[in-house]
Amino acid sequence: MISIRTIVSETGEVKNHNQKYPYRLNFYSIPPIEEITTEEFEVFALDRLQVLKAIESASLRSRTELQVADHIRDISNQYLPLHSTDGGKNYPLEQERRKDHISHFILRLAYCRTEELRKWFIKQECALFRIRFIEENKEERQAFLNNERLNWNDLSQNEKESMKNELSHANPHIKFNDETFFIVDFEQVLDLVSRRAVYIKAGKAYVPTSEQVTLVVGEFRKRLSAALNLASRAFPSIDDERILPLLNNINQQYLGKTYVYNNNTIVDKVTADNVDQMVGHFPLCMQHMHIKLRELHHLKHFARMQYGLFLKGIGLTVEEALIFWRKSFSSITDEKFQKEYAYNIRHSYGMEGKRQDYSPLNCNSIIMNKQPGPGDQHGCPFKHFSEDNLKVFLTQTGVKKDEHLKAILDIVKGKHYQVACTKYFEITKCLEDSISRGDDERHLMETIKHPNNYFEQSVKLSKINNSQNSK
């Protein structure tokens, strides 16, 4: 068992508190104090990370606030459900809120270590809090805020009337007579200031109730930032070897499905002769290696491993793999192929050596591990190609519009390579335009985390389209 009390004690954050959770919303001012299993510790952390990563991905893909909220609701229901008190009678509210509470503090520890990690965590947590705050009903929101005793000063009715022209001009969209206003330091609502959506006088901002979410999120951000700075100073004192590896490496953790070879794949049958017909369903990395294999009749070791395990994952048997690679390496003799390549192919299927059945590489492994050198074809094009080479390859493989090309390259410049791959999928599979129009608002795809997941999603989409066209 892992004592959450001990861990948060070491980061200087322990207070006495009631374990009950009266509200869905939470400023996470009071840490959890209980024991949880090692398994719970890891599962809670990774499930919350799924939600935060989904927020980042949807935002980077230029989705509207409504699209992001709908997508995050779907992801949250899968990994981190958190129902409102109103209408949540049929759900285990206490367990949901406990998991939300504990998982936040675990990730707070994991993301307190550097300025870059702290900024990322604050941004995603603020976005999640904002979505939850907007979705909560008015009575629950107000009860939560009253409990937090935020002590915002209300603008009196007389002051409101005397400033009617200024307030109405700054907030033309509001129903003035129905609004109340809060008076706060303008630094608390810089988002509203940047949008010129609030009246400012003598360093004070006059915030209408309709913009209350900005004020509340600002308070959430301020408290979380202070807590992360406190945790970062105390983090070195944590010495529990059961959790340190997770805390130190969670930002690079693979969160997707593990793919293994099986005969029940999404396609009927994969053979040496029909791989060429399936390339349109391959992610960019696999397309690149396949093209180079056909062009050079050879691939170096790491490319053979990366591409070979991918083909294994989509259903290519070891017998068909031997035929595929033998035909592809057409410039060498049978003797040379058997001597230098056949053993490694059988080895990757667990039929030689220590008989380990290797799984296809996920995106994190491809991006973070062996970097390609001169003459190498393995790796991730979004990470390892030059901008000019990536532009050319994207254009050759289906990205025709300049605005689409720019959108992908902008994501790549931010080093969000898996998000760029997801954007590429949406564009080349003709999802981007329908999403932009709002046709698929509630069906944004999850971020691509694995080449075999890309293949799987592409084949599924093709089957759906074919079924609809046949009607």
Q: Does the pLDDT value for residue 8 go beyond 60?
A: no
Average pLDDT over residues 404-416: 95
Q: Poorest-confidence range of 38-52, 53-67, 297-311?
A: 53-67
Residue type, 341: Y
pLDDT of residue 172: 79
Average pLDDT over residues 169-190: 81
**What confidence category does residue 101 fall into, taking pLDDT thresholds of 50, 70 and 90?**
very high
CB 214 within 8 A of CB 207: yes
Average pLDDT over residues 306-333: 95
Domain 2-147+218-252 annotated CATH 1.20.930.80: yes
pLDDT of residue 180: 81
How far, rounded to the nearest angstrom, does the alpha carbon of residue 298 sit from its chain's CA centroid? 36
**What confidence category does residue 168 fall into, taking pLDDT thresholds of 50, 70 and 90?**
confident
Neighbouring residues of 19: CB distance < 8 A, sequence distance ≥ 6: 32, 33, 34
pLDDT of residue 214: 86
Question: Which tens digit of pLDDT belongs to each residue from 380-407?
Answer: 999 999 999 999 999 999 999 999 999 9
Neighbouring residues of 56: CB distance < 8 A, sequence distance ≥ 6: 120, 123, 124, 416, 419
| 363 marked among binding-site residues | yes
pLDDT of residue 273: 95
CB 381 within 8 A of CB 393: yes
Among candidate residues 118, 335, 148, 394, the one with its CA nearest the CA of residue 403 = 394
SS3 assignment, position 98: helix
Average pLDDT over residues 353-361: 88
Question: Which tens digit of pLDDT belongs to each residue from 418-461?
Answer: 999 999 999 998 876 555 555 544 456 789 999 999 999 999 99
SS3 assignment, position 102: helix
Distance of alpha carbon 338 from alpha carbon 329, whole angstroms = 11
**What confidence category does residue 2 fall into, taking pLDDT thresholds of 50, 70 and 90?**
low
Residue indicated by tokens 């099986």: 262
Q: Does the pLDDT value for residue 221 go beyond 80?
A: yes
User: 174-178, 199-203, 304-308 — which one is most confidently predicted on average?
Assistant: 304-308
pLDDT of residue 238: 79
Q: b/e string for 91-124 if b means 16 or more Cβ within 10 A?
A: eebeebbbbbbbbbbbbbbbbbbeeebbeebbeb
Q: Poorest-confidence range of 71-85, 92-106, 234-248?
A: 234-248
Strands (E), 186-328: 199-201, 204-208
pLDDT of residue 15: 41
Residue type, 41: F
Average pLDDT over residues 46-65: 88
pLDDT of residue 471: 60
**What confidence category does residue 466 fall into, taking pLDDT thresholds of 50, 70 and 90?**
confident
Where are the domains positioned within the chain? Answer: 2-147+218-252, 151-214, 275-469
pLDDT of residue 304: 96
pLDDT of residue 65: 82
Tokens of 80: 């981190």
SS3 assignment, position 361: coil
- Per the model's pLDDT, the better-predicted residue between 176 and 257 turns out to be 176
Q: What is the dihedral of CA 339, 345, 346, 348, to 10 degrees?
A: 140
Q: Does the pLDDT value for residue 265 go beyond 70?
A: no
Q: What is the pTM of this model?
A: 0.76
**What confidence category does residue 90 fall into, taking pLDDT thresholds of 50, 70 and 90?**
confident
pLDDT of residue 362: 94
pLDDT of residue 470: 64
| 285 marked among binding-site residues | yes
Q: Does the pLDDT value for residue 468 go beyond 90?
A: no
**What confidence category does residue 18 fall into, taking pLDDT thresholds of 50, 70 and 90?**
very low
